[in-house]
Amino acid sequence: MTVDDGAPRVMILNGPNLGRLGVREPEVYGHASMADLELAAAEWAGGLGLEVQVRQTDDESALVGWLHEAVDGRSHVVLNPAAFTHYSYALRDAAAQVTTSGLLLVEVHLSNPAARESFRHYSVVAGIATGTVAGFGFDSYRLALEAVHNKLSG
Ligand code: DQA
């Protein structure tokens, strides 16, 4: 048996078009970039005693692979599935493996999809997530990390 007494690991995974943050519809998603999110996340995680990694891909299979990696490496997940939120059953099934293996998965959104176009109202991921934070810009990620920290400390 191995004993892992390091800081809890959290993978912050981001789906398609989120690499365009700062340029893409700034009135909806803000002016800050994915690089800015990486810096902010490292700072928040440091304060919470978490070890974070931020990744982004436009590729569904890469995102599915990273969720498998999270399960195998016992990493909690903060997931912004972007448009995959609304239709990717493959992503949903991969995300379900995170929570059914006893790890936390927080679904996050910068915007509040429920207040936008109707195709954004349904999330295929929400039903298997530990919880969801939406509508607070970068603060959605900060709140998600705090929720992970609080749940692990609880
Ligand atoms: C998003 C909301 C999704 O509807 C959209 O497709 C995105 C970003 C958000 O963070 O607000 O790409 O996940």
Give residue-wise pLDDT tens across range 25-45: 999 999 999 999 999 999 999
Cα 4 to ligand 1 centre (Å): 34
Cα torsion 134, 102, 64, 142 to 10°: value is: 30
Bridge partners of 13, per DSSP, are: 55, 79
The model's confidence at residue 5, banded by pLDDT at 50, 70 and 90, is low
Q: What is the mean pLDDT of residues 86-101?
A: 98
What is the C-alpha to C-alpha distance for residues 151 and 2, in angstroms, rounded to an integer? 23
Mutate to test the pocket of ligand 1, among 107, 111, 123 (most ligand atoms within 8 A of CB): 111
On the question of pLDDT at 15 being above 60, the answer is: yes
The model's confidence at residue 154, banded by pLDDT at 50, 70 and 90, is confident
Residue 124 dihedral angles phi and psi, to the nearest 5°: -75, -15
* Structural domain spans, the chain: 9-153
The model's confidence at residue 51, banded by pLDDT at 50, 70 and 90, is very high
Bridge partners of 76, per DSSP, are: 10
Q: Is 109 a catalytic residue?
A: yes
Closest Cα to atom 7 of ligand 1: 82
On the question of pLDDT at 1 being above 50, the answer is: no
pLDDT for res 2: 47
Atom of ligand 1 nearest to the CA of 135: 11
Q: What is the mean pLDDT of residues 123-136?
A: 98
Mutate to test the pocket of ligand 1, among 80, 125, 141, 143 (most ligand atoms within 8 A of CB): 80
On the question of pLDDT at 61 being above 70, the answer is: yes
The third-level CATH classification (topology) of the domain covering 9-153 is Rossmann fold (3.40.50)
Q: Estimate the share of the chain in helix, then strand, then coil, as percent rounded to the nearest 5.
A: 50, 15, 35
Rounded to a whole number of angstroms, the distance between the first and last alpha carbons of the chain is 25
Tell me, using a 6 A CB cutoff, whether residue 55 lines ligand 1: no
On the question of pLDDT at 18 being above 60, the answer is: yes
